[in-house]
Amino acid sequence: LMAMSVFSTAINAEGIKIKSFELERVDNDWLLNASFQIELSPGLEDAVQKGVVLYFQTEFDLSRSRWYWFDEKPAVAQRQTRLSYQPLTQQYRIASDGLTFSARTLAEALQGAGSIGGWRVADNSQLDPSKLYIGSLRMTLDLSKLPKPFQVNALNNRDWSVSSDWLRFPLSPTGPSLIKR
């Protein structure tokens, strides 16, 4: 029984969780700051150590439901973060939006990959001030960017399907200029 509880704790610890979230209107732009906690399965950690590059996809969208047609999506933004290991220098490299930095440990690299600051996700002029929108945010491991043999393995192995739940929140263009969770 004790072994099963330790095993189930290990299973629940892996994945992506949203630690903090902040959406702020600055002038006419909506800027997103977020922090994700990324924990990889032992198989994914081993793959990174052996040179497999992981791509994390962060998705944000604003939508407004309509009874007569599909939902309106005035703002959709995606951001890709690349995590790789350089065996020669024994460092992890994180690249996103043209910025690259290094980390000594996998924990530091995952913390860097899960941090987003000042990401412009919407223009306030795209939004109707009289309408209420629903914002959505999540991060996933992009399996389509893996080498083909690993994509096949990922289809058969749930440890490779790493994703956060969607965070959904109401947004009014004329409402508060700061939304936090």
Inter-residue contact 9 to 39 (CB < 8 Å): no
The whole-number average pLDDT for the span 115-125 is 94
Phi, psi of 114 (to 5 degrees): -90, 5
- The CA distance from 25 to 176, in Å, is 8
Inter-residue contact 110 to 38 (CB < 8 Å): yes
**Percentage of residues in the chain with pLDDT exceeding 90?**
65
Task: Name the residue with higher pLDDT: 71 or 82.
Answer: 82
The most confident of 69-73, 85-89, 142-146, by mean pLDDT: 85-89
Tokens read off for 22: 């902040």
Q: What is the pLDDT of residue 38?
A: 97
The whole-number average pLDDT for the span 150-158 is 67
Q: Which of 110, 116, 115 is nearest to 84 (CA)?
A: 110
Please tell me whether residue 44 adopts helix, strand or coil conformation.
helix
Tokens read off for 42: 């032992």
Helix extents (H) in the chain: 2-13, 42-49, 106-113, 148-156
What's the chain's average pLDDT?
87
pTM above 0.75?
Answer: yes
Whether pLDDT at 10 is above 70: no
